A and B are shown apart, each in its own frame.
Chain A
């Protein structure tokens, strides 16, 4: 029997990306080929959440779509819940959370996988750089928790990382994303909340040096809609009374 052990599950969420989904899949396929050339086995987990017919057709007809693929169709209308549904179906030892309209440097998956091996299981890996393009162009470096100027208390008012993460699959199973639904609940920013929860659970956010995430800026986006609604992140264990008392004891 062929050894079908999967090293990395590439979990991508789609909603209404349209033709942009095609370019994103091209970019992720480029990462996948680069990683596989280094001996890293992969699988695709495509989560289609309330996906438009057009986007669905574009995604499912993409040439990168092969046998190593699981399509998860859901009706959540919530990014956190969509990712959780995908995680349950994944079989990889590690898992990458990717968005359906962004791009990534070719080495992102390979280096992130190496970082897990180097740093151990209790880490979340992020790309070193973020380059924004589209409606707004800008660039920055993300924060490494091991850096001297990292301050976890700053997470009360600002998120330090994008939603692209890489970790052991069990991490996502044991620490699912919160369902936020900003317009209905007043809570949003499931990725910011998850980042906080992971620190509270004893994980460290680290960077894969030399990697980039290219973040497509749009005139209308979920982040902008969430901000406009005045939503805040759900209560986090990172700022809970118990954890604060433990640290100050």
Chain B
């Protein structure tokens, strides 16, 4: 059985225990269980990252906020090995490299852009000499 299959199997077991056993225990016990599981995962499978959620990040089961970051796919690891052999050993995906290699995603935060579009719609000219930004000004009250 490949490492990935073993990992996926254990991960399924982790979720099953979390869902069916931990639900009957206190939140503190569940937090300890999740943190211990993540530490165990880091020790046994460093290629899947070293992230351990903080106590405050582990809520109730219904919140389901614990993130399991996606692993680097095998085709990418193969390419890293090839580049390491042919060009630069720094890219070899050693356990040490993978343990320190964290997952991130490009944040998609649309609200500021939407607000900006609404604001720019209110403008009657493309060119201004002066712009005053007064974010604390509110409609109504004694200040108007």
- Chain A contact residues, CB within 8 Å of chain B: 23, 26-27, 30, 103, 105-106, 129, 131, 133-134, 137-143, 149-161, 210, 212, 214, 239-242, 244-245, 247-248
Contact = CB atoms under 8 A, between A and B. Distances in A.
B130 to A, nearest CB: 16
Interface in B79-124: 79-80, 82-83, 86-88, 90-91, 97, 100-114, 116-117, 120-121, 123
Contact of A154 (B109, B117, B121): B109
Nearest to B88: A23
Contact of A156 (B80, B87, B116): B116
A151 B80 contact: no
B75 interface: yes
B126 A151 contact: no
A84 B123 CA distance: 33
B72 interface: yes
B86 A30 contact: yes
Contact of A30 (B87, B100, B113): B87
B87 A103 contact: yes
Given A139-B72, A240-B120, A244-B120, A103 B88 contact: yes
Contacts of A240: 120, 126
Contacts, number: 108
B105 A140 contact: yes
A134 B91 CA distance: 9
A129 B103 CA distance: 11
B67 to A, nearest CB: 14
Interface of B: 72, 75-76, 79-80, 82-83, 86-88, 90-91, 97, 100-114, 116-117, 120-121, 123, 126
B91 A103 contact: yes
Contacts of A140: 103-106
B81 to A, nearest CB: 12
17 contacts: A26-B87, A105-B76, A105-B83, A133-B91, A137-B100, A137-B101, A151-B113, A153-B112, A155-B113, A158-B108, A159-B106, A212-B79, A239-B120, A240-B126, A244-B117, A244-B120, A248-B121
B113 A106 contact: no
Contacts of A160: 106, 108
A240 B103 CA distance: 34
A241 B126 contact: yes
A160 B79 CA distance: 23
A137 B47 CA distance: 12
A245 B123 CA distance: 11
Contacts of B75: 210
